[in-house]
């Protein structure tokens, strides 16, 4: 049954591409050249649709017809107009918030089903015509009974079934690629698709998105750089989300921003700082930052503030990957390519036997030309292609857990290029990274870690005297089993040993409490702790 569904879906995809006059483009793609005969034998190629429409329009309409996953693909690449022909980039940008909406009747039915009563009984006002529509959901303007202006986000009908159907296709293609493609094992397509599947399925749960929005709002509460709208959880469900309505200029409307007197260089720099802050300081980043999801509050044009919407895709990293990434970025900033190469080896991103000097030379060749140039003079597309060539040369494996971060970084760079091409991406992000690294490695970071771990430390220390007592008793029992009676000197050694253990343990407990509570002066806790370690070292068993 699965194979039948798969074949039918592939035939549907083929039919859509042919109907929009895209079969020749697809057939010329290197990856699909072995499948050209399918297009030639297909009955749909015998009667083709007119290709009078521009190719950008045909590509956009084909993606819309194929469904949410393909629309999201178009959204992602639309953020990089510098890497696309102008006609295609312009059309794909419409996928960010101009996807055809589903009918008003269906929207009203969905509201009634979610709340168990009609929309006019739930809201004081509800506009059945969508404000904007995207690949997975659309939003409607409304007003709560209590008077707040809100937007109501509704999932598209049958969107879950459509996405699961296309995920089956992606999984099949990934398994075939990993099995038969020479680079399949290194690029790990099966794991990449599995990671994408988790991301896109999470996006279908609007309660999860509401929680994401609340977390991001808390992280930037009071911030002058980013505003996140309030979520009204009493009105939220897995298929409906209600949040505060914000008003601002779309980030893509550069002309309106300029007419408003917006400080665009500051806006662009703030965007980079927001990204690095989310990834490294908060470890919780908005991972769908295409222009349709970003607005600008220009109430104070000299201090413009971003307003984010659509929190269905967020990302996090484990501490190890985050630390390695930060060190890699800083090494890049410092042009320390040997450090970059060494980090790649230490992290396991390249095979352990890789020669560090050769990897260092290859990375330097790609990255050195980037520095001291504004974005307008740097082709990140070319840099990425060169880095992929290096990855292949050194058998570097794709890290699926970093794919979402890489996608977000590409989006951020695309936004920065559109806003202010003279922006220095690296110099803007560098201070945030260095400050975060200092916080992670300094004494205060250790104190904060101890404060977080204080319950576990207290649990262990409460049992330490009993454990030490049992240890000493066992040692005395072993000594007493010897036929020879211990002399006076041995007895004094035992007494000294127990004294040092007891005193060192008490001092260690005191030091943990002082450091955990961040007692002033901070040096007191560290001094007591160091003394405790010295005593415990002196109390160690001697051969």
Domain boundary among 388, 410, 441: 441
Is the torsion defined by CA of 423, 426, 429, 431 positive or negative? negative
Per-residue H/E/C for 198-224: HHHHHCCCHHHHHHHHHHHHHHCCCCC
**Of the listed 23, 82, 97, 288, which one is catalytic?**
288
Q: Which residues contact 78 (CB under 8 A, 6 or more apart)?
A: 84, 89, 92, 93, 95, 96, 290
On whether both 295 and 425 belong to a single domain, the answer is: yes
Could you tell me if residue 206 is inside a domain? no
Domain boundary among 173, 200, 227: 200
Residue with tokens 């009105």: 235
Q: How far is CA 240 from the centre of its chain?
A: 24
On whether both 407 and 514 belong to a single domain, the answer is: no
On whether both 60 and 13 belong to a single domain, the answer is: yes
Could you tell me if residue 498 is inside a domain? yes
Give the per-residue pLDDT at 376: 58
- Residue 244 tokens, joined: 């505060």
Q: Measured at the alpha carbon of residue 214, what is the angle toward residues 239 and 208, in degrees to the nearest 5?
A: 35
Could you tell me if residue 243 is inside a domain? no
- Residue 444 tokens, joined: 């205060």
Cα distances (angstroms) measured from residue 355 to each of 205, 275, 352, 361, 385: 46, 33, 9, 10, 22
Could you tell me if residue 273 is inside a domain? yes
Domain boundary among 384, 408, 441: 441
Q: How far is CA 134 from the centre of its chain?
A: 20
On whether both 277 and 420 belong to a single domain, the answer is: yes
Could you tell me if residue 131 is inside a domain? no
Residues linked to residue 167 through DSSP beta bridges, in sequence order: none
Give the per-residue pLDDT at 300: 95
Q: Is 503 left (phi over 0), alpha (psi -120 to 50) or beta?
A: alpha
On whether both 365 and 276 belong to a single domain, the answer is: yes
Q: Which helix (H) or strand (E) holds 250?
A: strand 249-250
Give the per-residue pLDDT at 382: 55
On whether both 407 and 310 belong to a single domain, the answer is: yes
Structurally, the chain folds into a number of domains equal to 4
On whether both 428 and 484 belong to a single domain, the answer is: no
Give the per-residue pLDDT at 223: 93
On whether both 466 and 418 belong to a single domain, the answer is: no
Residue with tokens 């509201």: 111
Range(s) of the domain holding residue 380: 251-441
CA separation for the pair 197, 251 (Å, rounded): 28
Asked if residue 174 lies in contact with residue 191, where contact means CB atoms within 8 angstroms, the answer is: no
DSSP 94: G
Give the per-residue pLDDT at 10: 67
On whether both 65 and 165 belong to a single domain, the answer is: no
Give the per-residue pLDDT at 373: 66
Give the per-residue pLDDT at 276: 87
Give the per-residue pLDDT at 32: 46
Give the per-residue pLDDT at 246: 93
Q: Tell me if the pTM is above 0.75.
A: no
pLDDT in tens, 317-373: 888 888 888 888 888 778 888 988 888 888 777 787 888 888 889 888 877 877 666
DSSP 47-83: SPPP--S-HHHHHHHHHHHH-HHHHHHHHHHHT-GGG
On whether both 277 and 167 belong to a single domain, the answer is: no
Could you tell me if residue 326 is inside a domain? yes
On whether both 393 and 458 belong to a single domain, the answer is: no
Which residue numbers in the chain have pLDDT < 70? 1-11, 23-52, 75-84, 86, 96-98, 180-188, 371-389, 391-392, 397-403, 441-543
User: 288 catalytic, yes or no?
Assistant: yes
3-state secondary structure of 453: coil
CA separation for the pair 130, 399 (Å, rounded): 39
Could you tell me if residue 83 is inside a domain? yes
Give the per-residue pLDDT at 92: 76
CA separation for the pair 385, 231 (Å, rounded): 41
Give the per-residue pLDDT at 272: 85
Asked if residue 91 lies in contact with residue 57, where contact means CB atoms within 8 angstroms, the answer is: yes
Give the per-residue pLDDT at 206: 94
Could you tell me if residue 361 is inside a domain? yes
On whether both 358 and 485 belong to a single domain, the answer is: no
């Amino acid at each position: 049954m699965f194979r039948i569904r798969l074949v039918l879906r592939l035939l549907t995809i083929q039919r859509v591409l042919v109907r929009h006059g895209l079969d020749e483009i697809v057939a010329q793609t290197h990856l699909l050249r072995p499948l050209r005969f399918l297009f030639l034998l297909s009955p749909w190629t015998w009667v083709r649709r007119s290709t009078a429409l521009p190719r950008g329009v045909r590509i956009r309409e084909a993606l819309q017809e194929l469904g949410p996953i393909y629309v999201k693909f178009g959204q992602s690449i639309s953020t990089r107009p510098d890497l696309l022909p102008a006609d295609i980039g312009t059309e794909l940008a419409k996928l960010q918030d101009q996807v055809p909406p589903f009918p008003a009747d269906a929207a009203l039915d969905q509201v009634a089903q979610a709340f168990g009563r009609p929309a006019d009984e739930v809201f004081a006002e509800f506009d059945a015509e969508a404000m904007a529509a995207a690949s997975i959901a659309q939003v409607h303007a409304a007003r709560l009974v209590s008077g707040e202006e809100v937007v109501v986000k509704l999932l598209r009908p049958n969107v879950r079934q459509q996405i699961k159907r296309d995920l089956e296709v992606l999984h099949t293609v990934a398994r075939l690629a990993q099995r038969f493609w020479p680079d399949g094992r290194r690029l790990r397509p099966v794991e990449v698709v599995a990671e994408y599947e988790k991301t896109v399925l999470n996006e279908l749960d609007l309660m999860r998105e509401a929680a994401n929005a609340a977390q991001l709002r808390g992280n930037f509460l009071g911030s002058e750089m980013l505003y996140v709208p309030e979520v009204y959880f009493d009105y939220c469900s897995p298929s409906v989300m209600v949040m505060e309505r914000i008003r601002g200029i779309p980030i893509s409307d550069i002309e309106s921003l300029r007419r408003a007197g917006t400080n665009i260089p500051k806006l662009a720099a703030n965007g980079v700082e927001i990204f690095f802050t989310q990834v490294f300081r908060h470890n919780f980043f908005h991972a769908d930052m295409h222009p349709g999801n970003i607005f600008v509050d220009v109430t104070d044009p000299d201090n413009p503030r971003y307003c984010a919407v659509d929190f269905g895709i967020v990302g996090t990293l484990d501490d190890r990957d985050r630390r390695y990434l930060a060190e890699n970025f800083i090494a890049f900033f410092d042009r320390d390519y040997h450090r970059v190469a060494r980090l790649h080896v230490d992290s396991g991103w390249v095979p352990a036997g890789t020669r560090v000097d050769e990897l260092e030379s290859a990375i330097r060749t790609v990255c050195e030309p980037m520095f001291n140039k504004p974005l307008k003079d740097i082709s990140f597309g070319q840099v990425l292609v060169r880095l992929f060539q290096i990855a292949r040369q050194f058998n570097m494996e794709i890290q699926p857990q970093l794919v979402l971060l890489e996608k977000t970084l590409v989006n951020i760079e695309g936004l920065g290029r559109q806003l202010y091409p003279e922006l220095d991406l690296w110099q803007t992000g560098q201070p945030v990274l260095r400050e975060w690294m200092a916080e992670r490695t300094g004494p205060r970071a250790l104190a904060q870690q101890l404060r977080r771990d204080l319950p576990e430390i207290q649990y262990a220390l409460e049992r330490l005297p009993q454990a030490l007592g049992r240890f000493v008793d066992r040692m005395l029992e072993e000594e007493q089993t010897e036929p020879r009676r211990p002399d006076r000197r041995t007895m004094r050694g035992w007494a000294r040993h127990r004294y040092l253990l007891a005193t060192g343990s008490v001092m260690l407990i005191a030091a943990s409490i002082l450091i955990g509570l961040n007692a002033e002066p901070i040096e007191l806790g560290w001094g007591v702790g160091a003394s405790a370690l010295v005593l415990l070292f002196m109390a160690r068993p001697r051969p």
